[in-house]
Amino acid sequence: KMATATVLLALALCYAAEGIHLSYRPATSQLFLQTTPGFHVTGPAAAFARVAAFGPQTERRRVTGFGFSNPPPPPGADQDPASQTCGLAPPFCAKSRYRSIDGTCNNLQRPDWGIPNTPFGRMAPYDYEDGVSAIKTLSKTGRPLPNSRELSLRLFPDLQVIDPVWTLNTQQWGQIITHDMSLSAGEVQAHKELTNCCDDNGRLTFTAQTNPSCAPILIPRNDPVHAPQGTQCMNFVRTGTTRDRGCTPPNVPAQQLTVVTAFMDLSIVYGSSQIQADPIRARRGGRLLTTVRGGREWPPQDPNSTVICETAKSPNEPCYLTGDIRANQNPQLTTLQVILLREHNRIADALAQLNPHWNDETIFQEARRIHIAQIQHINYYEYLPILLGFENMVKNKLIYPGAHGYINDYNPGVDPSILNEHATAAFRHFHTLIRGYLKLISENRRAIGAVRMSDWFTRPLLLELDNAFDHLVRGLTTQEQDFSDQSFDSEITQFLFK
């Protein structure tokens, strides 16, 4: 059953690119390998649209066996957990077949574990200058700590060493997992407007001197990129904490907050609160809301587009509203966000056809449930073995190859909170894999051009230009990622969010 989920999402990548098929084997890593012989060009994947894995009789038999009826709206559906200063446990956990949007009641014994607006976990203790919240400025010897920009220039050279095995999809899928499980709280999330510690000309602002959230990075005089332009500082805003929000007394050390669920639940698609989820639902056929342009479905326009897509040349340019505020960050991330949206709607359409008696809520929840299962299977059986090793994962019972049916190894004693060290350091491992120039690949697997990533940060218009979306999807599954080392592409070290 779960192997079927892998095939579905693998095919979703191909279907979105119109006509690319991936020779895919369950429990392997073909989705991320540089194996061009595994591809062959055909017509559009019509068979995939018919949902080969869900024969009508099989699906009806499986569903009616549960004996459930159309569910009512979840309790507290009109309340937004993000509007609360601190994450709070619900007053009760209603019996439900489905996950809550905000992650509450995943653990019935600890219903507040893994929910938004709660502190990251920690492996090591905090170490503030004043013991409460101030940034460290002095070393253990009492000498000033070095400038972070100077450290970046000295420790992380701008070199490109190509990975001989894995494609760019490996790096990009890592960002999908990262965004699904963590998002540090900050001024942008709290007030929906940027905190400018530096102005557009790279000069310190008055805010930098008065706002305790400001921690601008000063540019060294010998900086090879920014100093010649007269840039004096880079904008940097500190993560929101329990202390900032009044969750703890002023004398209690600050803990950084995450504002999304800690679970692999596709919060990047569905949101981490009801207020995030409601505007992106079509409220018909269990579908997510889309806009059709050029005969294709795209996410709806974000009403706050001038802030979210700040590099757009016009407020009329596409700026996508999804379950995650970062969806428009870079072209390859946005490409996968669009594919995941379309995959939900593909599943919903199939379920609606098979079960005409279901209402919108049932179709939506069942489609979401299947979609999450697909992603979890790919994450554990296809992706994580690349990073952790297949045998190591089997040994530690993270996966169960060869098992039939469902495995119930849920441990209510495990806190699912994402570790601070993981969110801010380990997850950043993927940055060294980034390629600054994204290849555009034709249907016959030839490079026909490339786009510079920094030219399209927070500007998803690129995806809707000509056949760029198809070319970018093929690029994901064809172009090599950078090697995992201490070097970074200059698009990241020099021109990130320029």
Looking at the chain, how many residues does it have? 498
> Which is catalytic among the residues 21, 179, 344, 471?
179
State yes or no: 431 annotated in a binding site: yes
| Tokens at 394, concatenated | 């089997």
In the structure, how many helices (H) and strands (E) does the chain have?
17, 12
Longest pairwise C-alpha distance within the chain? 72
For 162, the enclosing helix (H) or strand (E) is strand 162-167
- Look up residue 399 and give its DSSP letter: -
List own/partner pairs for 219-227 with CB under 8 A and 24 or more apart: 219/149, 220/147, 220/149, 220/150, 220/153, 223/149, 223/153, 224/153, 225/494, 225/495, 226/202
The vertex-359 CA angle with 357 and 363, nearest 5°, equals: 100
- Which residue carries 């940027």 as its tokens? 194
DSSP secondary structure letter of residue 381: I
Calpha distance 172→479 (Å, rounded): 12
If you ran DSSP here, which 8-state letter would residue 378 be given?
I
Q: Indicate the burial class of 120 (C-beta count within 10 angstroms; 0-12, 13-18, 19 or more).
A: buried
**18 — alpha (psi -120 to 50), left (phi > 0) or beta?**
left
What is the C-alpha to C-alpha distance for residues 391 and 401, in angstroms, rounded to an integer? Answer: 10
Task: Please say if 179 is a catalytic residue.
Answer: yes
DSSP state, residue 114: T
Residues belonging to the binding site are 431
Catalytic residues: 179
| Residue set of the binding site for heme b | 431
